[in-house]
Amino acid sequence: MKKIIKNSLLMLALLPPLVTQAQFNKTTQKTRMTYPETKETTIKDNYFGTEVADPYRWLEDDRSAETKQWVDAQNAVTRKFIDQISYRNQIKTRLTKLMNYEKYSQPFKEGAYTYFYKNTGLQNQSVLYRQKGDGEPEVFLDPNTFSKDATTSMADINFSKDGSMLAYQLSEGGSDWRKVVVLKAADKTVVGDTLIDVKFSEIAWKGNEGFYYSSYDKPKDGSQLSGMTDQHKLYYHQLGTPQTADKLIFGGSKTPRRYVGASLTEDERYLVISAANSTSGNELYIQDLSIPDAPIVNVVDNFDKDHNIIDNIGSKLYIFTKLNAANGRIVTVDAANPKPENWKELIKETENVLRPSAGGGKLFANYIKDAVSLVLQYNMDGKLEHRIELPGIGSASGFSGKKEEPALYYTFTSYVYPATIFKYTVSTGKSELYKKSGVDFNPENYESRQVFYTSKDGTKVPMIITYKKGLVLNGKNPTVLYGYGGFNISLTPSFSTSNIILLDQGGIYAVANLRGGGEYGEKWHLAGTKLQKQNVFDDFIAAAEYLIGHKYTSAAYLASMGGSNGGLLVGATMAQRPDLFKVAFPAVGVMDMLRYHKFTAGAGWSFDYGTSADSKEMFSYLHHYSPVHALKPGVRYPATLVTTADHDDRVVPAHSFKFAATLQKDQGGDAPVLISIQTNAGHGAGKPTDKAIEEMADRWAFMFYNMGLVYKP
């Protein structure tokens, strides 16, 4: 999880047999929805003596005609409901206008050129440009030309050290499975064959002759999109040779690992290998490439903590580690004797969570302090040189580049500060504006405030609440409560153009920094894992109660929102406290906690979740909160719009299919339960702009309508 399937509206005459005319009767909030029939089977599983029914197991088969028929029928019902909302197209028009501004990425230097991504406004995929000196920028690669419907995206790009060669990854339909194309930068001619079946991989060039990459064997049983991918392997590809001749470097039967990644130090002396079996904790290895046939040397031989090499000077390695430092620290060691007992502390652990980077011959300590950024610059001897003056309270990202670069770039953003790029001069520690956002938004008219509320067990949890200045807190403001709470991921402030729609309707956007995330380090993360996962749900529920108790909103105007692990959060909390929310938006969620580990790379999430096979206690705990299993017949659940995608091969769509089918059956109230399934889309990355706008328009229209509100243009 670390590092949705929408069909066109079908005409009634073309609807699949499962959909009847009665299902398209005029639907209002006061009329009980009629849904496509979802057949139930008698499949049961036995977990430590407890039988658990799984009546919708058949929906796990994403290749079957029966599943496709169900998807088409559900999409048709959803489309019919949303399209009858009179102001839905007004929202889409407003979103389209808001999104129509130039967007830039931070520039980066490769060889004689400076590269950057640019979107003129409504392009489905951002275009990669390059510029030599002060010359005119030219289009280098345009992903909009890769497919007719712009659903093929450029997922990543990596250049060789001198910038003369590059490899870029293609994602088709949002899938995590990638193709790799190699080019000569000078004339963009293709070199060799396109690599296929690459997944969860960086590209690490070794000179201009070849590169390292990672992948899994294709699933032998079941669908490529849902079949289990368990053992990651690191390969070396020599240019001019077939992929079948690629050399296995690490992984496989001798060193089986679920996740394997590789990088090279900037001087290309050391190959750095990270190996892990879950999303937390990794082994660390190095290989000295300056010595022919040098062995791969183990640096850290266990999965207890996180570590990575961020820089080197000759044989001196700079390592970021959480060993004996839950919030992270930087140590140095000589590569000849790299074991932890030889590490020397360079930058000590602090009370704030560290996310380091290197560039311009310096180290940058980017700390998370109460979910916002604090950035310090150190020299390579660990001496503090500058505290970077940021434009305000928010999130700063970047501060990385090649050693010789005199200037680096970073992006600053907050919930009321559109993403803005700054140029940072390393020698002076001064920032200057490089690219200002062109979005039609005046930050002076809005405000964000951070509050700390008390969760069920007394823990203080931060939440940032954003709204238009002068808003009256009368309990009637449409409010979105967003959360994630997992995998050590920190939710730091970031601007969303889509949220302008909510804020300009007198709405409130609240983000709770739940346990399970990384905002306060390892302890905060662990407090929301396995048998403590309920803490995450309690934190989210307490956030909702805070918003209601302080009259920001009320249950009649509150929506919950989250994706992936956040989709699990929304599903679990609406099952536990359906009275708190009027609307729920679980996106690409992990909904079947008893079987999640049986699909794609799901088994790697067990550090956070545990699995139903671990023990009777773990099974019972998962079974209790698993959204698919926690729903009860006859309960009045919130109006729910489930979203997923046919090419989501990270959290397979079967999770959302089974949850939607169960919720439609169990719904005891009049609120609609709909599922929108995008086609040629995946877990979220690389989604075309037009699909994103359609999805956002559906979401806001569904929310306002079910709250009994009318959108005001």
pLDDT in tens, 76-106: 999 999 999 999 999 999 999 999 999 999 9
Per-residue pLDDT band for 685 (boundaries 50, 70, 90) equals low
Beta-carbon contacts of residue 549 (< 8 Å; ≥ 6 apart)? none
Q: Which tokens go with 402?
A: 């090649």
Q: Kindly write down the DSSP assignment for every residue of 146-204, as one continuous string.
A: SSTTS-EEEEEEEE-TTSSEEEEEEEETT-SEEEEEEEETTT--B-SPPEEEEES---E
Q: Which tokens go with 503?
A: 């804020």
685 φ, ψ (degrees, to nearest 5):
-70, 140
* Rounded Cα gap, residues 180 and 157, in angstroms: 9
Chain-centre distance for alpha carbon 207: 32
β-bridge mates for residue 639, sequence order = 583
Q: Which tokens go with 232?
A: 């990651």
Q: Is the sign of the CA dihedral 523, 527, 530, 531 positive or negative?
A: positive
Per-residue pLDDT band for 226 (boundaries 50, 70, 90) equals low
pLDDT of residue 253: 86
Q: Which tokens go with 287?
A: 């290989």
* Rounded Cα gap, residues 469 and 650, in angstroms: 40
Q: Is 642 left (phi over 0), alpha (psi -120 to 50) or beta?
A: beta
* Rounded Cα gap, residues 641 and 668, in angstroms: 16
With 90 as the cut, is the pLDDT of residue 43 above it?
yes
Averaged pLDDT, 232-249: 96
With 90 as the cut, is the pLDDT of residue 14 above it?
no
Nearest residue to 518 (alpha-carbon basis) of 481, 541, 491: 491
- Strand 558-563 relative to strand 583-587, pairing: parallel
Per-residue pLDDT band for 22 (boundaries 50, 70, 90) equals very low
What 300-308 contacts at long range (C-beta under 8 Å, 24+ apart), as own/partner pairs, is 300/340, 303/276, 303/277, 303/278, 305/281, 306/280, 306/281, 306/282, 307/274, 307/282, 308/272, 308/274, 308/282, 308/284
Averaged pLDDT, 3-24: 28
pLDDT of residue 557: 98
Averaged pLDDT, 632-638: 98
With 90 as the cut, is the pLDDT of residue 568 above it?
yes
* Rounded Cα gap, residues 453 and 448, in angstroms: 16
pLDDT digits (tens, 9 = 90+) for 594-624: 999 999 888 899 999 999 999 999 999 999 9
Assess contact for 326 and 311: CB atoms under 8 A.
no
Per-residue pLDDT band for 38 (boundaries 50, 70, 90) equals very high
pLDDT digits (tens, 9 = 90+) for 505-515: 999 999 999 99
Mean of per-residue pLDDT scores for the chain: 92
pLDDT of residue 183: 97
Q: Which tokens go with 195?
A: 């690599």
Q: Which tokens go with 666?
A: 């169990």
pLDDT of residue 645: 84
Assess contact for 482 and 566: CB atoms under 8 A.
yes
Q: Which tokens go with 139?
A: 């289009």
Q: Would residue 683 show up in a list of annotated catalytic residues for this protein?
A: yes
Query: What residue has token string 């089918």?
Result: 661
65 φ, ψ (degrees, to nearest 5):
-65, -35
With 50 as the cut, is the pLDDT of residue 201 above it?
yes
pLDDT digits (tens, 9 = 90+) for 343-376: 999 999 999 999 999 999 999 999 999 999 999 9
Query: What residue has token string 């088709």?
Result: 172
β-bridge mates for residue 446, sequence order = 468
Beta-carbon contacts of residue 539 (< 8 Å; ≥ 6 apart)? 455, 459, 461, 483, 485, 512, 514, 515, 528
- CA-based Rg of the chain, rounded to a whole angstrom? 25
Active-site hit among 455, 564, 606, 626: 564
Nearest residue to 675 (alpha-carbon basis) of 647, 635, 645: 645
* Rounded Cα gap, residues 456 and 544, in angstroms: 12
pTM, rounded to two decimals: 0.92
Beta-carbon contacts of residue 145 (< 8 Å; ≥ 6 apart)? none
Per-residue pLDDT band for 63 (boundaries 50, 70, 90) equals confident
* Rounded Cα gap, residues 119 and 435, in angstroms: 13
pLDDT of residue 16: 29
Q: Which tokens go with 594?
A: 């008893």
Query: What residue has token string 């109460």?
Result: 370
* Rounded Cα gap, residues 86 and 710, in angstroms: 9
pLDDT of residue 15: 28
- Strand 558-563 relative to strand 479-482, pairing: parallel
Active-site hit among 307, 525, 655, 683: 683
* Rounded Cα gap, residues 661 and 664, in angstroms: 5
pLDDT of residue 647: 67
Averaged pLDDT, 5-23: 28
Averaged pLDDT, 132-138: 94
Percent of the chain with pLDDT over 70: 93
Amino acid identity for residue 573 in this structure: T
Q: Is the sign of the CA dihedral 695, 698, 701, 703 positive or negative?
A: negative
pLDDT of residue 687: 80
Averaged pLDDT, 190-209: 94
Q: Render the burial of 74-102: b for 16+ CB within 10 Å, e for the rest.
A: bbbbbbbbbeebebbeebbebbeebbebe
Per-residue pLDDT band for 648 (boundaries 50, 70, 90) equals low
Nearest residue to 6 (alpha-carbon basis) of 99, 59, 77: 77
Nearest residue to 703 (alpha-carbon basis) of 536, 481, 513: 481
Q: Which helix (H) or strand (E) holds 559?
A: strand 558-563
Q: Which tokens go with 289?
A: 């490439």
Instruction: Return the half-sphere exposure (C-beta side, CA atoms, 13 A cut-off) of residue 65.
Output: 2
Q: Kindly write down the DSSP assignment for every residue of 199-259, as one continuous string.
A: ES---EEETTTEEEEEEEPPPSSS-TTTS----EEEEEEETTS-GGGPEEEEESSSS-BSE
pLDDT of residue 25: 33
With 70 as the cut, is the pLDDT of residue 9 above it?
no
* Rounded Cα gap, residues 369 and 393, in angstroms: 10
Instruction: Return the half-sphere exposure (C-beta side, CA atoms, 13 A cut-off) of residue 93.
Output: 8
* Rounded Cα gap, residues 50 and 433, in angstroms: 62
Q: Would residue 550 show up in a list of annotated catalytic residues for this protein?
A: no
